[in-house]
Structure 1
């Protein structure tokens, strides 16, 4: 399991907010909000990085500003949805449902239920990544990426 998490953390993006959400039952809310701050910094840094790479790739060619803007916006929107908003909400709901169900169906003490909820949340992360990524790709391809493609045709 540790190998799965290490490969996910290296190959994908910041999972700070998902981890924060998984630990929500055990830690102060400020920790959870701090995890979102870390994830947001990652998303912003990745968007800036993609913009810089697009600027270098397009040199002084016409349409450079548009291509850089598209790279930044597309990366920021994709990362915000796929790395922060959707997975954070998903882990939050999985953990809330787990804590509720454990309270209704078991006689486990509250600390055990909270740690179990955290374990469930953490173990859910590897399974939600790919479907969320594919879903966000589909969503962007069906919406704002159509606008980007139209702009490139008119350049």
Structure 2
């Protein structure tokens, strides 16, 4: 589980508790793809996608609770929901799911051509490799996970960089409150 939030900060159910790991259910599903029916893998994507949607809704509600004009409130809620949904969809579902899928497919293929192991052994080996790769790929993808685990700034913030370079440039600028 991640570290508790700093003093005075509200604990975020979707980022500061075990609930966060529901976002990675599809990675486990992908690791087991060679051993389980496809419906089990798709169910794991359902769990991860539900987590992403719930976090986006939560962040939208929190953004809407901040007092401001109706126009500012609507814009802030929209940005919070869209940014959270896209960030989580990429960092928790799409990128890691694709990566684990390809690692497992490649390892099953290589084991099939380079060894004479029985199919069941190759499938279990592929699953083990897929599970072992999960903690390795999370860190470059999910910068907050890296920061929590290592208590330092992340060396690479791929999803943040991607969004900062694209979608986040489209967001309306938030007016700063006047100092008078």
Superposition TM-score, scaled by structure 2 size: 0.76
CA RMSD of aligned residues (A): 2.0
Match of 2:150 in 1: none
List structure 1 runs of 4+ shifted beyond 2 angstroms: 9-13, 150-155
Question: Unpaired runs of 5+ in structure 2?
Answer: 3-16, 143-156
Structure possessing the higher relative contact order (Cα contacts under 8 Å, 6 or more residues apart): 1
Over 3 Å counting, the alpha-carbon distance change for 1:32 and 1:122 in structure 2 is same
Trace 1:1-150 onto structure 2 (pairs within 5 A). Answer: 10=18, 12-13=20-21, 14-56=23-65, 58-62=66-70, 63-133=72-142, 134-148=157-171, 150=172
Q: Which residue of 1 aligns with 2:148?
A: none
After superposition, the C-alpha distances for 1:35-73 in whole angstroms (9 at most, x for unaligned) are 1111111000000000011111x2243501100100000
Q: Distance in 2 between matches of 1:129 and 1:11?
A: 16
TM-score between the two structures when normalised by the length of structure 1: 0.88
The count of aligned residue pairs is: 147
Counterpart CA distance in 2 for 1:106 and 1:136 is: 37
1: CA distance, partners of 2:19 / 2:38: 28
Task: State the 1:11 CA deviation.
Answer: 8.1
User: In 2, distance between residues paired with 1:60 and 1:138?
Assistant: 29
- CA-to-aligned-CA distance 1:80-118 (integer Å, 9 cap, x gap): 111101100000000000000111111111000000000
State the 1:10 CA deviation: 3.2
Following superposition, the deviation at residue 12 of structure 1 comes to: 4.2
